[in-house]
Each structure stands twice: as structure tokens, then as C-alpha cells.
Amino acid sequence: NEYKSYLSMATIIQLECSVQNYLWGRCAKESLVAKFANASNNDNERYAELWMGTHKKGPSVVASESLKLTEWIRASPETRLGPNARFISGNDSELPFLFKVLSVDKALSIQVHPNKSHAEELHQKDPAHYPDANHKPELAIALTEFEAFCGFRPISEIISILSNHPEICSLLSQDLKLIVSGGEINNEKAFIKAILEIFFSQENLSEIIYKELNAKTDLSPDDKLFLRIYNQHPNDRGLPVVFLLNHITLQPGEAVFLGANKIHAYFRGDCIECMACSDNVVRAGLTPKFMDVDTLVSMLDYTPTSKEEQVMVPQTHGPITSYLPPVRDFGVERIAVGGNEVIIPAKPSPQIVICTEGNGTVANGDSQVPMGPGTVVYIIPGVQVTATGQAVLFSSFCQAE
């Protein structure tokens, strides 16, 4: 009863969060997700994602209570969710964002997320495969060295790779062959799309490339990368697409923002991820799940970009580094608590905060929670919090209008 009374007045509450055991996740002893969730060392299990929020597929619960976070918010939405988050989410109990930790051991699907209007259209047409009507922009911040494919490479790199693969060039039209051999290119986006469509139309292309590479003695870094992913997803029809994509390696603290229609696939490491609260994914390879190649090909942003353009530049002010993507649904801050007291500023929305390293305390008045690796708290809107100790915290929130 005393705890229930505290919960009714609390400005900070501790959460217990859901773990997703997908096949691409890391085994317990290597997974930050397993560490943060205090999972038992079951090496037959893969620990892929820790979900922090109100998504119905993995809702957080109030620690020590069999009370879903949504139910706790619904009891007092004005103070616990606030007008900012209520406006964005459109209801009285759900957060507009979903906060995650990912531990990736093998390549996730080649995928893209729809914009809001397209998400509504896909959901109406095929609710079984597109379970909600929300968009899903997302932000990934590396916790360990983190590898991903992200966006289409510069045209010069694509042409260089194609010209080193006669088995691919033999499939191209005469016009495309002319471009690869040095001819003029009038429409870069149309060129990339044409190559992509050829790749998806060839059922055994990844196997053909695999045999060609095994016969070669001088493999390029891109060839070695192809073989590495092939060993995880043999004969996958989507695999040749990786030759068209930027391969980026993020160091801890570096980030990528993936807006609507940006092709991507994560494939090694641990990261913090934040996104609009949605589970809409259009897939076209490296997965046993439902694939919708035609939809993916029709919706992609085919703009070629460099690796450097993929990496987001955060803003740092003292101990706080802010990652603020161009969407109102979410932002993330990294808070380095190093002995001195750090003020976590009040936000117009709730904040979900996770400790990823060290130990400390977060406090506001009578609400005080000790923080260690994997501790997750919910802070109500409009509340300034003091953090002490030696720790690294990540906070997620909605951006102000």
C-alpha cells in the first residue's frame, strides 16, 4: 500500500522492460540486451532487442507491480503523458516513441520504412503484414562498434563494383553496359533503380556471385563483405543488393538517422535505437519473414550519397550530447555523469532513461532511483531530474513543437 501510494505521487518510476529473442540477436554472454535484462546465461537463446515503452508487442511494466506502463499513464494522462506527447500519439496512454537497445550478431533484413500517408495506405490494404498506420523514422546510436548498410553508394563506387563483376554485367541491358564501361549517365536515380530491379529479378544471382568469388584469389573488401553475409544468408535473393549500399562502421557515440524510404540493414554490434512507435517494415531480403519487393522498389529514395553523409552530427553541451532528428516524435540525449551532479532538464513530454554504464542515482524530490547497467526509469513531463555518480545514461523524449 505504501508503494502504491508512492506510485500515485511519483515523478520518476522504475520500469521492467520486454526482451525480444530474434534469431539475429547475440548469445547471452555477448549481448548487451541480455546483460541489461539480467537474462540467464542460456546460450541456446538469442537476445536481440530490449523494448522500452508502450508498444503492444512488448509493453514495459511498472517495476514490482503487475501494472503495464500504459495503465499507469491512463490513470492520470494530464500529468504522466502531458499535452505534447498526447497530441503526437493521438491517445491518452501511449508514448509516440519506442526506445530500444539492439544486440546484433547477424544481418537483419534489407528494409525500408514508409512515410505517414504510405503507412496508412499499406495498413489499410494489408493489415496482417503492416500492423499499424504510423510511420517509423528511426535513430541508431552505437554503444559498441556497429556495422550497417545505409543508403545507396555514390555512382562511381557502384560502377567500379559492377565492372569488377562480369557475372553481373552479363545481365545488364546494352544501355546499362554502356554506362558501366564509361558512358554518360543522365539520371543517377533511374540507373540505381534499374540495377536493383535486375538484382531482384534473378533468383540465383547470389549463388552465381558466390561461385565466382570462390574462384577468385584477389577479393576486394566488398567481395569479402558479400561472402561474410552470404555465410549468414546463403542463396538469398536480396543479397546482391549490398553491392549498391554504403557499408558504414559507427564508433560508440556515432549515430545514423533513417528517415522514410531510406534503405538500410544493420548487421553487427550493439546500439541504442529510438523510433516512432510503429512496427511497419517493408522487407526485401536477408530474412525468412514476409517480403514485399515490389513495394520496396517503388518507394525507395534512390539518391546516391557518401558514407560520411549518413552519419548524424549531434550537438554537445557539457555532459549532454543531443541527437535531434528532423521529426517531432522523438529525440535522444546521452548524459555523461562523471562525479559532479548533472541536471537532466525538464521536457514537455515524458522521458525514458536507461543506464548503459556505471552506477549512479536519478532524483527529483522524494522520487529517487539507483541506476546501474540496464536500469530503466520513466520521468513525467515538466520534471527536472538530478543525476549523480559515475554513469552513462540515454534519455528519449518527444521534441517540442
Which has the closest alpha carbon to 26: 354, 270, 357? Answer: 270
Burial track 281-309 (b if 16+ CB lie within 10 A, e otherwise): bbbbbbbeeebbbebbbebbebebeeeee
Partners of residue 256 on adjacent β-strands: 140, 311
CA 342/CA 195 separation, integer angstroms:
52
Look at the alpha carbons of 316, 343, 345, 2 in this order and tell me if their dihedral is positive or negative: positive
Which residue among the candidates 153, 237, 283, 334 is catalytic per the annotation?
283
| Strand 385-397 relative to strand 351-364, pairing | antiparallel
Print the SS3 string covering 7-49: HHHCCEEEEECEEECCCCEEEHHHCHHHHHCCCCCCCCCEECE
Active site residue 283: yes
Q: How many CA atoms lie within 13 A of 278 on its CB side?
A: 28
Please, which residues have CB within 8 angstroms of residue 70's CB and are 6 or more apart in sequence? 54, 59, 93, 94
Q: How many CA atoms lie within 13 A of 59 on its CB side?
A: 15
| Strand 331-338 relative to strand 385-397, pairing | antiparallel
- Answer yes or no: are the C-beta atoms of 300 and 293 closer than 8 Å: no
C-alpha distances in angstroms, 258 versus 82, 101, 288? 27, 16, 23
Enumerate the active-site residues. 283
